[in-house]
Structure formats: structure tokens, C-alpha cells
Amino acid sequence: MAVSLILHDTKNRLVLADPVPGKLVDISFYGARLSVPHIRTGNYHLFYACKDDLDKIIELEAIDREKGDRLVIPAHPVWFDHVLSAPDKHFELGMEFLVPPEDPNITRLRAFLAVQPSLNNGWLKRLFRLG
């Protein structure tokens, strides 16, 4: 699923740089693993900007194109890796959600992912049936 990562300064209520496009690779109740083409945006490194200043967060934005819904989940990065073995040499970024699993946007994202055709018989759909 396509997502955007938007670096925010919560103290000053500012968007600090252009959004970084990404793909949702894996999700849990408390976070997600994303694939992004680059880890820097403007003058900021997505991982270190948030580690150096806890007022900086990343908003994970997903768009449900069918309903036109915009889902925004605040998160902090917890790890990153540069995948040099992949043809596109992308980055993977582990994110921890800053809202509880019961948050309406997480519930909506999980529901949206559960009905995607590519997930019909996958482990992710089975997980959401259990939850």
C-alpha cells in the first residue's frame, strides 16, 4: 500500500520538509515497516531528526482511494536499514505508532488492508480476523 511520510515539528506546528513516498510492507497493532526510496528529505534525515528532537514526529499518511479517506497516524522511527541487496537499493524504516491500537485511524487502516485482494488469503488477513 502506498503511503507518504511527512516530517512534523509538533512544538511549532510546522511541516519541515517535502513528503517522502513509501510502501507499507508490514503492520502490527503498534507499528509498521515501510519501504522508502530515500531516508533524507530537505535538510532532514527521517530517523535522526526524530531521535535528536522528540518534538519531531513522522505522520504516516495513507489514502483510501475508493472512499477518498485520508488516514494519518503519528509515529516515531525506531530503526532503519539500507537494503543494498535489492535492485532499487531502498531503505526500510520501522515505525512505532504514537497512538494506541484502538485509535480510529489504525482501525480504519487495518480494515482497509484486510479487504485488499492481494491479502485475501494472506497471514495479514487471518491476523485481522483473529483480532
Q: What is the pLDDT of residues 11-29, one digit of tens each?
A: 999 999 999 999 998 888 8
Query: How high does pLDDT run on average in the chain?
Result: 85
Residue type, 128: F
Q: Residue with C-alpha cell 494519518?
A: 72
pTM exceeds 0.85 = no
Ordered domains of the chain (ranges, CATH): 2-101 (2.30.110.10)
Cβ distance 105 to 73 under 8 Å? yes
Per cent of the chain over pLDDT 70 is 85
Higher pLDDT, 18 or 108: 18
Percent of the chain as helix, strand, coil, to the nearest 5: 20, 45, 35
Q: What is the pLDDT of residue 118?
A: 56
Cβ distance 81 to 91 under 8 Å? yes
Report, in angstroms and rounded to the nearest whole number, the Rg of the chain calculated over CA atoms. Answer: 15
Q: How does residue 108 score in pLDDT terms, banded at 50, 70 and 90?
A: confident
